Structure 1
Amino acid sequence: MINRKILARVAGVGAAATVAMGLFSTGAANADTFVPLPGGEIVKTLSDGTVVTVRLVGESANINPSLGSTPVHRNAWVSGSAQVELSGTGADSGGRIFPGYTVGCQVNIAGGGTSGGVDGGVAWEDGSPSIGASGGGDLSLGPGQAQSFYILDLEQADDFGSETHKKRNVFSGSNGSVTWADSTIGLSGCGGYAQARAFVSVEVETESVVTWITLYGQPFSIG
């Protein structure tokens, strides 16, 4: 769910399997605190020779720990850009980009990957968090709980003309990207410390390989 603006830029091809992890969180943020974040990059070579590069750039968060004027409310406006580049054998395969965030209340969300994950409420499938939040970035979490959500909500008509909502950006060719600005994470019910982190999942299908790769951003405190 995007509260202000999303820019989707499409060009080319898309993605593979595995994960990159940010293992260190930033310090606790105070009211209206701007937090620059380092983003990240992961490069994966598929079995057919396709090389997939996934980047998270321009990442930041502007944090207000108590928008609801109580200790259990937090609010953050997050921005960033997910960029995918394909080269090698399947460089014209295209792909799908799924950007999102994981939010946790009094739980370590620094894990991730095909052999790890978030403790306390987020299931991980094929190296990607299963999405447990239906309300976009408006979450209610108790201690020890965590949820993930996709930030995209793209409206389009299905084959019968009915409205559908997609959580991914499809691109063709050798590269594609999705940029978001001031997307809101609203958290209620958390009486302890809270953290969030970005992730970018990319799905790519070449003539011989179907794969999924997820890049994780650095965890940051939201109060």
Structure 2
Amino acid sequence: MKTKAKFTGLTAAAAAVMVTSALTAAPPSAKADTVYNLPSQTQRYTMGDGTVVTFQRVRERANVNPSLGGTPLHRNAWVSGKLIVTLSKEASRIEIYPGYIVGCQVNLASVSGEGGSGIDANGFDGAEAGTSVSLGPGQARAFYLVDAERADDFGQDKHDKRITYKKKKRASLSYTNSQLGLRGCGGYAQARSFASVQIETKHAMQSMSFYGRPFSMG
């Protein structure tokens, strides 16, 4: 089966992530770009067969800017970062779904998960980073950083939000200036990075979700 991966602002390959503090960065001032240098994160998790998984998120950065029209109904964030997963022994398969959740008048700090719990990658309506979505109060949407194009057994194109690696102990990816666009939100807005990861070894399979620190989009 042939796979062609399209990365939205991504470079390199495969990932890892992190549970974080529930603190939210302070909101940006009006009509000015605000840059958030978000804290690096590391977390370890031990699978049922003893495999130790280490997740890291480093160099995460968000540049939030208002619309050219100066209205809070249009906002953009440009996000960058690096995700790394390291295992104590080789895995048969690692799958990573990296992205960001954007919410309108939703407290994303209350979303949490570690180990086998957290965000279901299919639990939110999704959009590709680099696009803009319209949200009303209480709504949230996931922006996915990966659009992997695969040919199925019948030769038909299939799009996937994950990257798959086989027979690896370490995997990483970097993304640079991926755009999160928001329209229609008249109140405060937040964004928060996430990665859902599935690891399969000879004797165990584990799904994990990890979150970055929320930041304000205004």
Q: TM over 0.5, yes or no?
A: yes
Partners of 2:108 and 2:191 within 8 A in 1: yes
Partners of 1:79 and 1:181 within 8 A in 2: yes
Equivalent residues in 2 for 1:202-221 (5 A)?
Answer: 202-221=197-216
Partners of 2:190 and 2:214 within 8 A in 1: yes
Task: Please identify, of 101-110 and 156-165, the stretch whose mean Cα deviation from structure 2 is larger.
Answer: 156-165
Cα-to-partner distance string for 1:57-85 (whole Å, 9 max, x where unaligned): 11001111224542211101101111111
Equivalent residues in 2 for 1:192-211 (5 A)?
Answer: 192-211=187-206
2:183 paired with 1:188: yes
Partners of 1:2 and 1:184 within 8 A in 2: no
Q: In the TM superposition, what is the alpha-carbon distance from 1:160 to its structure 2 partner? A: 2.2
Q: Determine the structure 1 residue equivalent to 2:54.
A: 53
The structure with the largest strand share of the pair is 2
Q: Determine the structure 2 residue equivalent to 1:127.
A: 118
Q: In the TM superposition, what is the alpha-carbon distance from 1:9 to its structure 2 partner? A: 2.7
Partners of 2:18 and 2:55 within 8 A in 1: no
Q: Does the C-alpha gap of structure 1 residues 179 and 196 become closer, same or farther in structure 2, counting only changes over 3 Å? A: same
Q: Which runs of 5+ in 2 are unaligned?
A: 1-5
Equivalent residues in 2 for 1:104-143 (5 A)?
Answer: 104-114=103-113, 126-129=117-120, 130-137=122-129, 138-143=132-137
One-letter amino acid of the structure 1 residue matched with residue 147 of structure 2? D
Q: What TM-score, normalized to structure 1?
A: 0.83
Instruction: Count the aligned residue pairs.
Output: 206
Q: Which runs of 5+ in 1 are unaligned?
A: 116-124
Partners of 2:151 and 2:158 within 8 A in 1: yes
Other structure's SS at 1:143 match: coil
Q: Does the C-alpha gap of structure 1 residues 221 and 152 become closer, same or farther in structure 2, counting only changes over 3 Å? A: same
Partners of 1:93 and 1:174 within 8 A in 2: no
Q: What TM-score, normalized to structure 2?
A: 0.84
Aligned partners of 1:148 and 1:44: how far apart in 2?
25
Note the aligned Cα RMSD (angstroms).
Answer: 2.4
Q: Determine the structure 1 residue equivalent to 2:164.
A: 170
Cα-to-partner distance string for 1:30-81 (whole Å, 9 max, x where unaligned): 3222211113121101121001111111100111122454221110110111
Q: Determine the structure 2 residue equivalent to 1:6.
A: 10
Q: Determine the structure 2 residue equivalent to 1:75.
A: 76
Other structure's SS at 2:92 match: coil
Q: Does the C-alpha gap of structure 1 residues 188 and 68 become closer, same or farther in structure 2, counting only changes over 3 Å? A: farther
Q: Determine the structure 2 residue equivalent to 1:34.
A: 35
Aligned partners of 2:199 and 2:75: how far apart in 1?
35
Aligned partners of 1:68 and 1:171: how far apart in 2?
43
Q: Percent identity?
A: 45
One-letter amino acid of the structure 2 residue matched with residue 9 of structure 1? A
